[in-house]
Amino acid sequence: MTDSPSGPTLLFVDDDIDIQSAARLLLTRRGFHVLAAHNAPEALTRITAQNVDLVLLDLNYAPGATSGAEGLALLKELLALRPHVPVIVVTGHSGVSIAVAAIRAGAADFVMKPWSNERLITLLQNTLQNRRGAPSEIHGEQPFLCGSDFMRRLLEKADRVATTRAHILISGPTGTGKSLLARRICAHATDDVSSLSIDGESCEALPQGGDVWVIDGIERLTPPLQRALADRLDSATAPRIIALTGSIESDPTKFHPALQLHIGTIHIALPPLEGREEDIVALARHFLRYFAARHGYPEPALDDDHLSALAARPWPQNVRELRQVMERFVLRDEVNDTAALVPGTLSPGTLVPGTLAPGTLEDAERSLIETTLRRHGFNVTRAARELGLTRPALYRRMARHGL
């Protein structure tokens, strides 16, 4: 799948296997380390699992597609996830208007198919030299993935409102992706705005600055702070609020009525993972590829038995739990054992001997947090990012586990 890691790493996204092979041959000879993706989900997994310096992006992946719509949508996702990684789009001769749309959307440049090898190499080298800002980080933002029409519609709604100034309330049980969706909304907002993360539980006073406030656990703000926030939202200098809550449906009384009126205008309710078979399959495949690439392990095959086991079991911790199960599935020795995917065998320590302390899910969480913190030299921001948590959420868990 990968060539010897010599020069810069280039991710080439194209569904055409022959073009992939020809490009790999050319680019490897010229010192690039080439990663291949054949469609949008693969590209999103690759760019989040590995360090990528530059993306070469064909714009059509479905058989017969020529509109470039798939590629333009993927371009936006890639730029939201990794704003510092330049993307060069590849178009056919007829695709000048698509190339212009891609440049408008943030592509660094474009190249026409069939390309001249020398011109392509020069373009890649120049683009790498001129790239903006910091290079990509391996543990940067994750894509928000879905496999069902229901979740796709929900994501479309989120993307539509992302570009407005509307306050948004995101609710859902633990691990369903509330924080991830909030970060995606911030990344897709058009303006270059500053955002502040606020932990509802530990917040003692409302901050002064910040264009967007992401409030995790808004129901845990004290009643006086909720009232003060409602008043602030009536003022001319009101920030935009993206509020996350685990419990609005179960206990609406926790919200001050004035605050409810402000932040409840756009409500996105993330459902529990259990029973969402199409989402489970899409997420499982993504996490499998992601962890295989990240740990340098072969990607185990997911057969029908595995998929039925995943679809049938409960997911009390939702996507966070599926992510952990798939990481263990990648790391285990006997990759074909379906038992790894059923809840009875999730007891920590059994799947990856020696890496996790035996005991409850709590023990596993503590161990995971500790290992991640160590790996990042106790840098909480980076550890939180890797674990898919906000910093306040990680601090809360660290306190709970006495770390």
Ligand X SMILES: Nc1ncnc2c1ncn2[C@@H]1O[C@H](COP(=O)(O)OP(=O)(O)OP(=O)(O)O)[C@@H](O)[C@H]1O
The verdict on 247 binding ligand X (CB under 6 A) reads no
Determine the 3-state secondary structure of 87 from DSSP: strand
The verdict on 179 binding ligand X (CB under 6 A) reads yes
The verdict on 175 binding ligand X (CB under 6 A) reads yes
For ligand X, the binding residues in 149-168 under the rule CB under 6 A are none
68 Rama class: left (phi>0) / alpha (psi -120 to 50) / beta = left
Torsion (CA) 100, 103, 108, 111 in degrees, nearest 10: -20
Q: How far is the CB of 214 from ligand X (least distance, A)?
A: 11
The verdict on 172 binding ligand X (CB under 6 A) reads yes
Q: How far is the CB of 31 from ligand X (least distance, A)?
A: 33
What's the CA gap between 34 and 1, in Å, rounded? 9
The verdict on 248 binding ligand X (CB under 6 A) reads no
The verdict on 388 binding ligand X (CB under 6 A) reads yes
Q: Give the interface segment with ligand X, choosing from 99-107, 126-134, 319-327, 376-384 (CB under 6 A).
A: 319-327
One-letter amino acid identity for 387?
A: L
Q: How far is the CB of 182 from ligand X (least distance, A)?
A: 8
The verdict on 95 binding ligand X (CB under 6 A) reads no
Closest CB to ligand X among residues 53, 141 = 141
Q: How far is the CB of 388 from ligand X (least distance, A)?
A: 2
Among 174, 260, 345, 350, binds ligand X (CB under 6 A): 174
Q: How far is the CB of 347 from ligand X (least distance, A)?
A: 20
Structure tokens that stand for 348 in this block: 């920590």
One-letter amino acid identity for 340?
A: A
Q: How many other C-beta atoms can be found within 10 angstroms of the C-beta atom of residue 266?
A: 16
Among 33, 320, 328, 385, binds ligand X (CB under 6 A): 320
What is the side-by-side strand order in the sheet with 87-91? 33-37, 9-13, 54-58, 87-91, 109-112
What's the CA gap between 281 and 284, in Å, rounded? 5
What's the CA gap between 285 and 88, in Å, rounded? 27
Chain residues that interact with ligand X, rule: CB under 6 A: 142, 144-146, 172, 174-180, 246, 283, 319-320, 323, 388-389, 393
